[in-house]
């Protein structure tokens, strides 16, 4: 146990700040590259007379500069769902003409989607995050203590900012699948944090005389480290395979999960527990100052 996680907590905080800060600047200046789930657009469903390779359809749409991250989805042997930004009638006619190159087709659906659904999705996602955060603080307070709940939520905010910041920096498309990825990451991260907090609580019960809080928490982190690393590696193996073999329609979703899983493991080990230690030490100093005043 040569590495003392708690004594190095300021280093972990600095690393987090250096990762998050560029993303925050990008979010403030460039924002997110919102997909049609948020901004609205056209949804076109076509059925070819003969089976057509998905790459041919994707190349046709991409050549017009209209493809999004989930722009082309195969819904059957001959059916394709095509999502684009809002198209003028001239752009739509040009798209239909280009789609006829791989073969004859019939239009099953041609709809224009407004941004109202996107605004509703955004508000519901924010509400879900808020409710989940409040419930997690209540649960952690009942099972552990309030300060651990605050530390856990701060770690979750860290993970959310890391993922959204990187997507803003790279201007990757953000759609409903991205929201699903962020909510999944939060669930993964809080689970890892709870396991570490549970080990800290067990060690607190058998705390040796004279053992400092920093040493106790560091010992707890080392005792759960193997489990944390094994868990994140098994998840990463699956996600990496999905990223390279799962197709372009889920690439951004999987990338968000990859970033979030790594960030969640880091924040659970290097942020949540050290933050709790700092909150406890702050409470102790405050209590000492109060007694001295009296």
Domain 9-34+117-284 has CATH 1.20.1640.10: yes
What's the pLDDT at 290? 47
What's the pLDDT at 111? 77
Work out the average pLDDT over 79-101. Answer: 83
CATH class of 41-113: alpha beta
pLDDT digits (tens, 9 = 90+) for 19-67: 999 999 999 999 888 877 777 788 888 888 888 888 888 887 877 777 6
Residue 288 has pLDDT above 80, yes or no: no
What's the pLDDT at 154? 93
Domain spans in the chain, listed from the N-terminal domain onward: 9-34+117-284, 41-113
- pLDDT-based confidence at 293, cuts 50/70/90? very low
pLDDT digits (tens, 9 = 90+) for 105-132: 888 888 777 666 667 777 887 888 888 8
- Looking at 59-63, 144-148, 197-201, 203-207, which range is the least confident one? 59-63
- Looking at 117-121, 138-142, 234-238, which range is the least confident one? 117-121
Entry pTM: 0.81
Strands 79-84 and 72-74: antiparallel
Query: Are both 9-34+117-284 and 41-113 of the same fold?
Result: no
- Tell me the percentage of the chain whose pLDDT exceeds 70: 93
Residue 11 has pLDDT above 50, yes or no: yes
List helix spans (H) across the chain: 9-29, 36-39, 54-63, 89-99, 116-143, 146-170, 176-205, 213-245, 251-267, 273-293
Q: Please tell me whether residue 258 adopts helix, strand or coil conformation.
A: helix
Q: Please tell me whether residue 48 adopts helix, strand or coil conformation.
A: strand
């Amino acid at each position: 146990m040569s590495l003392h996680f708690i004594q190095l907590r300021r280093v972990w905080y600095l690393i987090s700040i250096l990762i998050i800060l560029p993303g925050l600047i990008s979010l403030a200046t460039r924002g997110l590259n919102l997909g049609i789930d948020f901004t609205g657009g056209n949804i076109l469903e076509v059925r070819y007379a003969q089976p057509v390779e998905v790459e041919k359809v994707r190349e046709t749409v991409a050549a017009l500069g209209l493809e999004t991250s989930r722009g082309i989805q195969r819904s059957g042997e001959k059916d394709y769902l095509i999502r684009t930004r809002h198209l003028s009638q001239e752009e739509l006619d040009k798209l239909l003409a280009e789609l006829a190159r791989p073969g004859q087709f019939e239009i099953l659906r041609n709809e224009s989607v407004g941004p109202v659904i996107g605004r509703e999705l955004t508000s519901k996602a924010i509400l879900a995050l808020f409710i989940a955060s409040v419930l997690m603080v209540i649960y952690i307070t009942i099972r552990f203590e309030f300060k651990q709940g605050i530390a856990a939520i701060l770690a979750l905010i860290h993970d959310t900012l890391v993922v959204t910041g990187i997507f803003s920096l790279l201007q990757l498309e953000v759609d409903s699948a991205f929201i699903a990825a962020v909510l999944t990451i939060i669930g993964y991260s809080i689970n890892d944090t709870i396991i570490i907090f549970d080990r800290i609580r067990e060690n607190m019960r058998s705390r040796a005389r004279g053992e400092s809080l920093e040493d106790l928490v560091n010992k707890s982190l080392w005792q759960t480290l193997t489990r944390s690393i094994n868990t994140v590696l098994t998840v990463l193996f699956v996600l990496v395979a999905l990223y390279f073999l799962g197709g372009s329609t889920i690439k951004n979703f999987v990338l968000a999960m990859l970033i979030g899983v790594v960030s969640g493991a880091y924040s659970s080990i290097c942020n949540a527990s050290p933050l709790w230690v700092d909150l406890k030490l702050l409470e102790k100093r405050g209590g000492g100052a109060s007694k001295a005043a009296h």
